[in-house]
Amino acid sequence: MGLAFVVVYKASRMINFALGEWIMVSAGLVAAGLHAFSLGLAGAVAAACAGMILLALIFNRVVVRPLVGRPVIALIMVTLGLAALLRGAAFLTLRGIPGRITLPLSGETLAAYDIFVAPEKLAAGAVAVVAVALIAAFFRWSRTGIALRAIADDQQIAMSMGIDLPTHLALAWAAAGVIAVIAGTLWTAAVGGGLSLVLVGLKVFPVVVIGGLDSIPGTIVAAVLVGLLETLAAGYLDPVVGAGFSNVASYVVLIAMLFARPHGLFGRPDVARV
């Protein structure tokens, strides 16, 4: 989920506050393909990817492109509006469709040193590592990835160098849509889905800020750290401080990170020649 956030930010410096709704709709489309159209898991994921790419292209063409060069606050308000729209649309169109997604994995829960891990969560971790490696390689070595980094640094100069800004931004949003489908499918299979995915999307912000807003490897490192923090806080701090502190512990660390290292553990500080 953090990767879907970083891909958009790394390409456009745009913060997508609709990420939770984006992933909720993605998982809903996969569930609809499974239960309403009987496509099978592979067919449902492919159909959901096509649907999210279409949604991303429409959003980029109708909303993002006219706002190129506008103040950041305008882009933030647009994503907040998109979040409200997706919540309402998902409630109307996906209501009554079972949200259950099951991965075709066999085997019992794995145990090592009295630690029990479901195979769905191991699959989610493996897919996350592969996705991070592919996206990091794309931004580092491909011409399109380098062009997206140039756009994020300065849109006007990038356009003056011949980079097709609308096309590259559309590619970034389309990639985020595909990543959202994968993330929503894995999360729903391992934990559960539905409207709760909107709240799960809020957990992404501590991850990406701690790891670094523009750092792809930092996303997975910070995700592991935040997961460990919430688990340890639930076991050791909730009985002392009060139930529910584990849910806000990551935000406490987020605030501390903003004071100590605003660009995150692996992010790059902005450097300007004056």
- Do residues 172 and 212 share a domain? no
Q: Which domain holds residue 7?
A: 2-99+114-193
CB atoms within 10 A of CB 255: 11
Do 82 and 166 fall within a single domain? yes
Pick the last residue of a domain from 193, 217, 236.
193
Most distant CA pair in the chain, distance: 60
Same domain, 12 and 33: yes
Percent of the chain scoring above 90 in pLDDT: 20
- The string of pLDDT tens digits covering residues 108-142 is 677 777 777 888 888 888 888 898 889 889 988 99
The residue that leads in pLDDT, 200 or 43, is 43
Give the chain's mean pLDDT: 85
Residue 177 lies in a domain: yes
What are the percentages of helix, strand and coil residues in the chain, rounded to 5? 75, 0, 25
pLDDT at 30: 93
My answer on whether 232 and 183 are in the same domain is no
Highest mean pLDDT among 69-73, 144-148, 242-246: 144-148
Structurally, the chain folds into a number of domains equal to 2
Q: What is the pLDDT of residues 256-269, one digit of tens each?
A: 998 988 888 888 77
Domain-terminating residue out of 129, 159, 193: 193
The tokens for 124 are 């989610």
Rounded to whole angstroms, the Cα distance separating 74 from 222 reads 28
Q: What angle do CA 4, 31, 134 make, to 5 degrees?
A: 30
Q: Which two tokens stand for residue 136?
A: 């990091």
Output the pTM of the full model: 0.87
Residue 64 lies in a domain: yes
Residues 6+ away with beta carbon under 8 Å from 40: 34
Residue 273 pLDDT level (bands cut at 50, 70, 90): low
Q: Helix 2-12 to helix 216-232 angle, to the nearest 10 degrees?
A: 140
What pLDDT, on the 0 to 100 scale, is given for residue 189? 86
